[in-house]
Homo-oligomer: A and B are copies of this chain.
């Protein structure tokens, strides 16, 4: 396999972007990444998108998006793994460059969620339709069950959950691209409306529009475009039973664990080497579970790690310095790419007020559904 690096990035602000369509969002992010990298052509494009078919009545995003940026002709494919679609787009771009088939590949993600579809209904298509969605359960309910199981097994508290929100909004307030640049107090989180017990409104990531793109190329070419490329040294993708009821333990996210193991193995790395991580906090409980499955904190200590400040900026291993899905926003197809952009900026020392000092190794973890798919990437300064 050829070594692979990222040499440019672009993203829209995340938020309720009423003035921008699906294709506008993609074009803004893609053109910014192309300009940032300074490339004059592309060999291939991957578009991570969960459900433009249901959100805005548009499938076939590969050619549409290539066309939209004036690159009709270029190979272009949509990839989908629900909320992990962006992470999977990065992985397929990585594999195409690693194979030697292409040099300049744009890995992108986009979602337009505010155009009128019933968002909760569309998102429920990421669960098992026959065993879950058809019975009426949606994602807040699924993650509430995960939260309850974690609380019972490990003593995780409602305050632990709230501290994830408080931390990520503290980080997001420092991020100009974030949907909600404001901080919350413990009282505000614990006083917010109950959505699915024990998850309150302020434990849930928002409905967002947005797009993000990164330019991936062989490491040997990367220095032609930037003096500070960031290597992708590991990529792992894994699945788990689709329906929560089919898993051995609802609090265990086996796909996250397996995807991390595969990424660490490819990178010849381990959790001890990670200095900054973007982790899939679609609900505050998922950051707690995922940091444990990734080996970044001890099993059962995910809540305490947040309480102690270990995973905050200034702590031992800052998690979701971008604000995470909770504060930065969660346009589902774009999230996995936006995570990679945060780590790229951290490893280049360009994260501004959110900078983790001297970070040279980082990780992203992007998850689909209630954890049925997960993709992990490990990055290193070149």
Interface residues of A (CB under 8 A from B): 1, 21, 23, 44, 50-51, 53-54, 56-64, 66-67, 72-82, 88, 91-92, 95-96, 98-101, 122, 125-130, 133, 235-242, 246, 254-255, 258, 262, 266, 368-369, 372-373
Contacts of A266 in B (CB 8 A): 101
Provide a sorted-by-A list of 6 A–B residue pairs whose CB atoms are within 8 angstroms: A59-B126, A60-B126, A60-B373, A63-B369, A63-B372, A74-B239
When A129-B57, A242-B63, A372-B60 are in contact, do A78 and B80 touch as well, CB less than 8 Å? yes
A79 contacts B79, C-beta separation under 8 Å: yes
A51 contacts B59, C-beta separation under 8 Å: yes
Contacts of A238 in B (CB 8 A): 73-75
Number of copies: 2
Contacts of A91 in B (CB 8 A): 77
B78 contacts A81, C-beta separation under 8 Å: yes
Cβ-neighbour of A78 out of B21, B79, B262, B369 (below 8 A): B79
A60 contacts B368, C-beta separation under 8 Å: yes
Bound: A337/B74 CA distance, A: 22
B73 contacts A81, C-beta separation under 8 Å: no
A364 CB → nearest B CB, Å: 16
Cβ-neighbour of A88 out of B53, B59, B77, B100 (below 8 A): B77
Contacts of A76 in B (CB 8 A): 81, 237, 239, 373
B81 contacts A60, C-beta separation under 8 Å: yes
B240 contacts A58, C-beta separation under 8 Å: no
B373 contacts A240, C-beta separation under 8 Å: no
Which chain B residue shows the least CB distance to A129? B58
Q: Which of A23, A74, A99, A238: most chain B Cβ within 10 A?
A: A99
Bound: A85/B253 CA distance, A: 29
Bound: A235/B75 CA distance, A: 11
Q: Which of A95, A239, A368, A372: most chain B Cβ within 10 A?
A: A239
B372 contacts A73, C-beta separation under 8 Å: no
Which chain B residue shows the least CB distance to A52? B125
When A88-B77, A99-B99, A239-B75 are in contact, do A54 and B54 touch as well, CB less than 8 Å? yes
When A1-B99, A79-B78 are in contact, do A125 and B58 touch as well, CB less than 8 Å? yes
When A59-B51, A92-B92, A101-B1 are in contact, do A237 and B126 touch as well, CB less than 8 Å? no
Q: Which of A50, A62, A73, A127: most chain B Cβ within 10 A?
A: A62
